[in-house]
Amino acid sequence: MNLREQLKNKTMTFHKAAEEASAKYAPIDKPSGYYAFLCCMHRMYTKYSTALDKGSAIMKLPPRSQQIIKALKVDISGSPKYNHLPKNSTTLPFISEQSLLGISYVFEGSALGSHILINRIPAEAESNYLKRLVKETPLRWPQTIKFLSNIENDYTPAITEACNVFKDIAETMKELSIEIN
């Protein structure tokens, strides 16, 4: 089984938990929920930015974390009711190449949902972040799939790290909903 299949199969439960946390704590069809979602994504991209850019380089994709963080800041500051950035964003220490691929899988795969999410956000909301993902995903996801599908080794660190990122997203959604509301 190639790495893409391993990641898909072995992270399914964690992926579902992150989606459920997003629906519960950051329902994007409501202004406060969409704001919580944006703050969570800002925190995640800030925390994982170096890893994401290194993972992109491994897969021969251009880095984009800083542009996404900027788009998120614009969307967050454009919120009429909520206009502050989340606190306590941190970055990760050095991690292995295998772990970088697990992190990249989560973020590149999550970007696929931007096509659905952009149609569910409040009409007055800023959507620079989602528009960027909608535009870039058709170019990035096929390259990600191709790269991960060509790896046949046991990449347990990639799977472990992907599960950890999904857990981190779910926990951050919950934390931010408490901070914001």
Distance CA 157, CA 52 (A): 15
Q: What CATH number did the domain enclosing 57 receive?
A: 1.20.910.10
Which residues lie closer than 8 Å to 159 by C-beta, 6 or more apart?
A: 6, 7, 10, 11, 102
Q: Residue 95's pLDDT is what?
A: 80
The chain-wide mean pLDDT, for the chain, equals: 89
Which residue shows structure tokens 């990122």?
A: 165
| pLDDT, tens only, 141-161 | 999 999 999 998 878 999 999
In angstroms, how far apart are the furthest CA atoms of the chain? 49
Q: How many structural domains does the chain have?
A: 1
Mean pLDDT (whole number) for 52-63: 95
Percentage with pLDDT > 70 across the chain: 88
| pLDDT, tens only, 8-33 | 999 999 999 999 999 999 999 998 89
Residue 109 in this model has a pLDDT that exceeds 60? yes
Q: What is the rounded end-to-end Cα distance, in angstroms, of the chain?
A: 44
Give pTM, 2 decimals: 0.90
| pLDDT, tens only, 72-93 | 988 988 665 554 555 555 566 6
Which residue shows structure tokens 């925390």?
A: 47
| Range(s) of the domain holding residue 120 | 3-180
